[in-house]
């Protein structure tokens, strides 16, 4: 097969769906116009632990337009079968309206359905729920509750970290704290559910249409093929839509019980209750080093939040095992069950939290030893993955730092903390490493080339704002030899060829490779048709010598000899050609595969008020081939914005007296706004990684967030001489 010329891939394309979005034509979950739809509003618990002793629905039911109120008192039947595909956590997911138990503050306890949203909202406010409340346990920093399931432990050990610490020239021990964070995408979660007999159709905000399809089939005890999930546009998610939460079940349940299509949109306040969060951490790190800065030991002892009913896990141990060449490592991770809802993966899950700890500690060690923080990292670069002894597919972290240091002007910096001032502002710079796994999943796609020379390619993947519509169009266009204008990519429908969740940065590699395989097959089909067709100018040519460009097939190196897809299909009386292709990752890779980043930050800290302003940031990334440079830059900028949020602003506050989240709104839960965002620059190292996958890409979407917060924290230390081991870094901590 002759390689196709690269034209669309690598071009700085604007989003192909951009016009739909800015003109309001893109339909998000709640936007779909479904005939006869009625509205559901969830009533949520106002205690965090206990039993429901009564639900008085008389006033609600008396309201005009109210069609019904559903709670556990109605004993609605739900199968809650096992779902091994998309129900990831040990334990048992929350069963809605099946008993009187309250497991967390804000748990759905009833749903009101009415003909208008206003009637449903008002009636929901009239539902009176009484409780037998108990004192909840919601504080991670207090010892694990004794009456819940035992804390989960995940020990890891290589070498003898205790002995190596004892023998080390330099020993350090630090405890870090990370607050709970909520994803808070712009679009709130919403579901529309409609039953047609025993068939369920759901329009949902989800990062995994196939996952939601599997969960609904399991919850309702119906065959998978009876459930269809649609999610063509997503207004951000950051991980919150990676599983089907209780409200998705409630919408479908209400539609079944009331006998009408039901729309259920969570309020911003409810976004803090049942759609996951980044768990709080308490993390003790000890490290040992030689005087020349070679790490000899690291021990990681940490605990983080989960619910009482599920054991949430995230990839918080990999970085401690593979990032640096440390011969002796021990890790002990504990999940602490609390009277809280189950967390869910958020923006570089696990890695972000571990990176804050490890990368702040590296900065602390650099200062203790008087070694430049970049130099310290370079001295601990491993030649192979120290946790698996595998070679790296590619690892260009050192190059990221060298390129970044030059572009950022790192070496002009006076290393002494609190040495640079600009009026009232103390100025500091800091660096940190970012690193994220290359996750890969099985994916399939379908492509159809029509007689008019245009193509439609589809896969049940998603576009959370990451640019999937655009990047897949680019891959398909090059593989088909069409211009971008003549390719349409469709996604977000469980009836399409299956694709993995849009999470863990696996979409570009997995779905992109499936799209390329599919379009390669389709192109080869057209080429085969041409070379076997006596009336084709390409008749008798070796198929491997034919390339397609701009919709025209021709002999490689001889553009004169060829014809267009349109001519070929018309002459052969074909309305279309179609193909199906896939990508399946190998069972076990021989390589250690990660994306890498060097993050640089400059901050100004008000010497009297402790206010922190990020002045500029630079990220340099090693992620293999870049399919869509403009969107990759957009992702990097988004990652830095998210990292600024985690570093300085985002903090979910729980009142531990009753388990209430006190800042469940966007006025009190602070996220960065334009005024918080300075000049942000992203540089992607030129390159490709074909050991990671067939289209040369690694992973990008999560990586861009990881390392941002510690770079800022390290810059704050350089500016002020104050080491803050807690996120977010607040003015109070710097006073
Ligand atoms: Mo990402 S946190 O897996 O959406």
pLDDT in tens, 635-663: 999 999 999 999 999 999 999 999 999 99
Residue 150 has pLDDT above 80, yes or no: no
Secondary structure string (H, E, C) spanning 516-568: HHHHHHHHHHHHHHHHCCCCCCCCCCCHHHEEEECCEEEECCEEEEEEEHHHH
What's the rounded Cα separation, in Å, for the pair 123 and 117?
10
The answer, yes or no, to whether any atom of ligand 1 lies below 6 A from the CB of 243, is: no
14-27 tens-digit pLDDT: 999 999 999 999 99
pLDDT on residue 592: 98
Omega before residue 434 within 30° of 0, cis: no
CATH node for 18-26+441-583:
3.30.365.10
What residue owns the CA closest to ligand 1's atom 4?
A: 239
Q: Do domains 18-26+441-583 and 386-439+589-734 have the same CATH topology?
A: yes
Residue 147 has pLDDT above 90, yes or no: no
CA dihedral 475→481→485→491, nearest 10 degrees, is: -40
Index of the ligand 1 atom closest to the CA of residue 347: 2
How many Å lie between the centroid of ligand 1 and the Cα of residue 141? Answer: 26
Supply angle C-alpha 362, 368, 370, rounded to 5: 95
569-586 tens-digit pLDDT: 999 999 999 999 999 999
The answer, yes or no, to whether any atom of ligand 1 lies below 6 A from the CB of 239, is: yes
How many Å lie between the centroid of ligand 1 and the Cα of residue 544? Answer: 40
Residue 622 has pLDDT above 80, yes or no: yes
The answer, yes or no, to whether any atom of ligand 1 lies below 6 A from the CB of 700, is: no
How many Å lie between the centroid of ligand 1 and the Cα of residue 501? Answer: 9
Cα of first residue to Cα of last residue in the chain, in angstroms, is 66
Contact 200, 216 (CB under 8 A): yes
pLDDT on residue 154: 78
| Eight-state DSSP code of residue 376 | H
Query: Which helix H or strand E contains 462, and what residues bound it?
Result: none
Name which of 676, 701, 681, 698 is nearest 600 in CA terms. Answer: 681
What's the pLDDT band for 88 if we cut at 50, 70, 90?
A: confident
Contact 617, 677 (CB under 8 A): no
What residue owns the CA closest to ligand 1's atom 3?
A: 503
Burial per residue of 544-583, b for 16 or more beta-carbon CB atoms within 10 angstroms, e otherwise: ebbbbbebbbbbeeeeeebbebbbbbeeeeeeebebebbb
What's the rounded Cα separation, in Å, for the pair 314 and 239?
12
The answer, yes or no, to whether any atom of ligand 1 lies below 6 A from the CB of 345, is: yes
How many Å lie between the centroid of ligand 1 and the Cα of residue 697? Answer: 18
The answer, yes or no, to whether any atom of ligand 1 lies below 6 A from the CB of 347, is: yes
How many Å lie between the centroid of ligand 1 and the Cα of residue 594? Answer: 16
Q: Where are the domains of the chain?
A: 18-26+441-583, 29-135+194-267, 386-439+589-734
Say what the pTM is: 0.97
DSSP letters spanning 293-319: S-EEEEEEEEEEEEESSB------SHH
Index of the ligand 1 atom closest to the CA of residue 241: 4
How many Å lie between the centroid of ligand 1 and the Cα of residue 235? Answer: 14
pLDDT on residue 148: 55
Cα dist. 34→30, 113, 540 in Å? Answer: 10, 16, 54
Q: Looking at domain 29-135+194-267, which CATH architecture does it have?
A: Alpha-Beta Complex (3.90)
Residue among 184, 211, 235, 349 to mutate when testing ligand 1 (max atoms within 8 A of CB): 349
| Eight-state DSSP code of residue 91 | B
Name which of 93, 677, 151, 566 is nearest 344 in CA terms. Answer: 93
Name which of 259, 306, 244 is nearest 104 in CA terms. Answer: 306
Residue among 504, 595, 635, 705 to mutate when testing ligand 1 (max atoms within 8 A of CB): 504
185-239 tens-digit pLDDT: 999 999 999 999 999 999 999 999 999 999 999 999 999 999 999 999 999 999 9
Task: Order the strands of the 421-422 sheet from edge to edge.
Answer: 421-422, 425-437, 594-606, 612-622, 679-684
The answer, yes or no, to whether any atom of ligand 1 lies below 6 A from the CB of 504, is: yes
Which residues lie below 8 Å from residue 296, measured CB to CB, with a gap of 6+? 164, 165, 167, 168, 288, 289, 290, 326, 327, 328
Index of the ligand 1 atom closest to the CA of residue 207: 4
Residue 602 β-bridge partners? 429, 616
Name which of 230, 347, 354 is nearest 283 in CA terms. Answer: 354
What's the pLDDT band for 153 if we cut at 50, 70, 90?
A: confident
Residue among 182, 507, 702 to mutate when testing ligand 1 (max atoms within 8 A of CB): 702
684-710 tens-digit pLDDT: 999 999 999 999 999 999 999 999 999
What is the average pLDDT across 587-591? 91
The answer, yes or no, to whether any atom of ligand 1 lies below 6 A from the CB of 503, is: yes
Residue 143 has pLDDT above 70, yes or no: no
pLDDT on residue 149: 57
The answer, yes or no, to whether any atom of ligand 1 lies below 6 A from the CB of 706, is: no
How many Å lie between the centroid of ligand 1 and the Cα of residue 29? Answer: 19
How many Å lie between the centroid of ligand 1 and the Cα of residue 183? Answer: 10
Residues classed as catalytic: 702
Index of the ligand 1 atom closest to the CA of residue 345: 2
Q: Specify the fold of 386-439+589-734.
A: Aldehyde Oxidoreductase; domain 4 (3.30.365)
Question: Across the chain, how many H-helices and E-strands are there?
Answer: 16, 30
Index of the ligand 1 atom closest to the CA of residue 701: 1
Secondary structure string (H, E, C) spanning 464-482: CCCCHHHHHHHHHHHHHCC
Q: 3-class SS at 369?
A: helix
pLDDT on residue 260: 98
Residue 545 has pLDDT above 80, yes or no: yes
What's the pLDDT band for 73 if we cut at 50, 70, 90?
A: very high
Cα dist. 684→5, 400, 615, 627 in Å? Answer: 22, 9, 21, 11
Mean pLDDT of the chain: 97
């Amino acid at each position: 097969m002759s390689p196709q010329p690269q034209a669309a891939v690598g071009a700085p394309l604007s989003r192909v769906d951009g016009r739909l979005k800015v003109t309001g034509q893109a339909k998000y979950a709640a936007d779909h116009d479904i005939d006869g739809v009625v509205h559901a509003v969830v009533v949520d618990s106002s205690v965090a632990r206990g039993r429901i002793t009564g639900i008085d629905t008389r006033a609600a039911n008396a309201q005009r337009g109210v069609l019904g109120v559903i709670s556990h008192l109605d004993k609605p039947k739900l199968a809650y079968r096992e779902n091994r595909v998309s129900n990831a956590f040990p334990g048992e997911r929350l069963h809605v309206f099946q008993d009187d138990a309250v497991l967390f503050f804000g748990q759905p306890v009833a749903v009101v359905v009415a003909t208008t949203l206003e009637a449903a909202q008002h009636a929901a406010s009239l539902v009176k729920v009484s409780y037998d409340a108990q004192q909840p346990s919601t504080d991670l920093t207090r010892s694990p509750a004794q009456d819940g399931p035992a804390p989960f432990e995940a020990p890891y050990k290589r070498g003898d970290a205790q002995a190596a610490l004892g023998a080390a020239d330099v020993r350090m021990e630090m405890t870090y704290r990370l607050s709970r964070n909520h994803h808070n995408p712009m679009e709130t979660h919403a579901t529309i559910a409609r039953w047609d007999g025993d068939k369920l159709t759901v329009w949902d905000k989800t990062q995994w249409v196939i996952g939601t399809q599997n969960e609904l089939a399991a919850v309702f005890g119906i065959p998978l093929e009876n459930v269809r999930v649609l999610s063509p546009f997503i207004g951000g998610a950051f991980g919150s839509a990676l599983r089907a939460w209780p409200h998705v079940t409630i919408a479908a349940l209400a539609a079944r019980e009331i006998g009408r299509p039901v729309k259920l949109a969570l309020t911003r306040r409810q976004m803090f209750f049942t759609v996951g969060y980044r768990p709080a951490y308490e993390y003790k790190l000890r490290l040992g080093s030689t005087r020349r800065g070679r790490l000899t030991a690291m021990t990681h002892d940490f605990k983080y939040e989960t619910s009482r009913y599920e054991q949430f896990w995230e990839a918080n141990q990999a970085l401690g095992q593979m990032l640096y060449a440390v011969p002796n490592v021990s890790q002990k991770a504990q999940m602490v069950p609390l009277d809280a809802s189950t967390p869910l993966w958020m923006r570089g899950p696990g890695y972000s939290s571990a990176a804050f700890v490890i990368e702040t500690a590296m900065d602390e060690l650099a200062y203790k030893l008087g070694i430049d923080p970049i130099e310290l990292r370079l001295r601990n670069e491993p030649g192979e993955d120290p946790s698996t002894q595998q070679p790296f597919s590619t690892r260009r972290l050192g190059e990221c730092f060298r390129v970044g240091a030059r572009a950022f002007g790192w070496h002009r910096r006076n290393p002494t903390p609190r040495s640079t001032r600009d009026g009232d502002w103390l100025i500091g710079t800091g660096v940190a490493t970012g690193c994220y796994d290359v996750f890969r999943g099985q994916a399939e796609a379908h492509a159809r080339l029509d007689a008019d020379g245009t193509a439609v390619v589809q896969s049940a993947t998603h576009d959370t704002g990451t640019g999937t519509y655009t990047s897949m169009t680019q891959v398909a266009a090059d593989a088909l030899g069409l211009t971008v204008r003549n390719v349409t990519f469709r996604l977000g429908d469980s009836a399409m060829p299956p694709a993995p969740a849009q999470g863990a940065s696996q979409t570009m590699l997995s779905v992109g490779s499936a799209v390329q395989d599919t379009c390669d097959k389709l192109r080869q089909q057209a080429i085969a048709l041409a070379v076997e067709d006596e009336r084709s100018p390409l008749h008798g040519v070796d198929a491997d010598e034919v390339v397609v460009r701009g919709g025209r097939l021709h002999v490689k190196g001889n553009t004169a000899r060829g014809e267009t897809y349109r001519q070929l299909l018309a002459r052969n009386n074909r309305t279309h050609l179609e193909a199906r292709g896939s990508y399946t990752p190998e069972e076990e890779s021989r390589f250690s595969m990660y994306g890498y980043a060097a993050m640089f930050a400059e901050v100004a800290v008000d010497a009297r008020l402790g206010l922190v302003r990020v002045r500029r940031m630079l990220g340099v990334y090693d992620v293999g081939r870049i399919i869509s440079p403009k969107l990759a830059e957009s992702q990097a900028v988004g990652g830095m914005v998210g990292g600024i949020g985690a570093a300085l602003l985002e903090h979910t506050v729980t009142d531990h007296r009753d388990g209430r989240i006190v800042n469940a709104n966007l006025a009190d839960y602070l996220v960065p706004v334009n005024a918080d965002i300075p000049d942000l620059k992203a540089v992607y190292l030129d390159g490709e990684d074909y050991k990671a996958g067939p289209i040369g890409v690694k992973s990008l979407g999560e990586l861009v967030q990881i390392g941002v917060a510690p770079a800022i924290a390290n810059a704050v230390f350089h500016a002020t001489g104050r080491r803050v081991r807690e996120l977010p870094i607040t003015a109070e901590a710097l006073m």
